[in-house]
Amino acid sequence: MLKPLGYEVTRQVGSHIRLTRLKSNKDHITIPNHKPIKVGTLSAILKLLAEQNGLTKQEIIDVLFLK
């Protein structure tokens, strides 16, 4: 799901998946593998992705969901 931003799954422990951005091994994000993800959790994930990629939350949404 985060491949358009350059993230790949690097490990999974239980119900949490860790992704790392390949061009910068310092950028990691851990995402719960729950369905559905709570709104607050999703907002925090989008905020972190925006910070790591130098984009706004809306730009992240556009890249991931609106292509």
In order of 29, 36, 43, 46, 51, the CA distances from 54 in angstroms are: 15, 27, 16, 12, 5
**CATH code of domain 3-66:** 3.30.920
Give the three-class secondary structure for 47.
helix
Q: What is the pLDDT of residue 29?
A: 92
pLDDT of residue 67: 67
Instruction: Provide the whole-model pTM.
Output: 0.82
45-55 pLDDT, tens per residue? 999 999 999 99
Domain ranges of the chain: 3-66
